[in-house]
Amino acid sequence: MKNLAILLVAVVLASCSSNKINKDTEIMSSEAVVLASIRIMNNGKDITKNSKLFFDENKNGALTYRLPENGEMITKLPIGNHYLKTIYTPYGSVNLPDGYASFRVDGNKINYIGNIEIKTDELLSKKFQGAIYDVSPRWKEEKKPKFTVTASDELKAKYQSEFGTRFETQNSLLLLEESY
């Protein structure tokens, strides 16, 4: 029983690890920096603070990011294609179909995916849906959150003033799959 308790504590501590970066964060050759400014709105109320984004859940496991109140996401992700899978807020969560909101991350670059506003009006489920969910065709018929993606140099300039210009910055704006 004692070993089980120790194992549970270790699992909880491991799950609390952060992919947020600072000046001393080492970027491996298989990783790249990702920047975004994200605002989550629900019925006109900003609910960004303490929200989490889950990426690639059905593909690569849990890649998560807890958003600060200002919505700035500065993180590192493995090189390759990624998609937003689940938006979790203190007011509920919403899942997205695989590949609905996607972007590509290239190595040795700062990948800016945009200023992103997500409107979750009437779509949040009070019960956390979990990141792994039924991917049946019904998702094509359900309403999706409304995304607005714009580009700005403000966050890129802020990043470079804080972290330097070690890597080239490129736009890898979030793309929405219109066929859903």
Average pLDDT over residues 139-163: 85
pLDDT in tens, 81-97: 999 988 999 999 988 88
pLDDT in tens, 107-116: 888 999 999 9
Is 6 among the domain residues?
A: no
Question: Which pLDDT band, with edges at 50, 70 and 90, does 10 fall under?
Answer: very low
- Supply the range of the domain harboring residue 69: 21-176
Look at the chain and report how many structural domains it folds into: 1
Is 33 among the domain residues?
A: yes
Q: Which two tokens stand for residue 136?
A: 């049946």
pLDDT in tens, 117-131: 999 998 998 765 554
Burial zone of 110 (CB within 10 Å; 0-12 exposed, 13-18 middle, 19+ buried):
buried
What is the number of other CB atoms lying within 10 angstroms of the CB of residue 74? 22
Please report, for the domain that includes residue 95, its CATH number. Answer: 2.60.40.10
Is 12 among the domain residues?
A: no
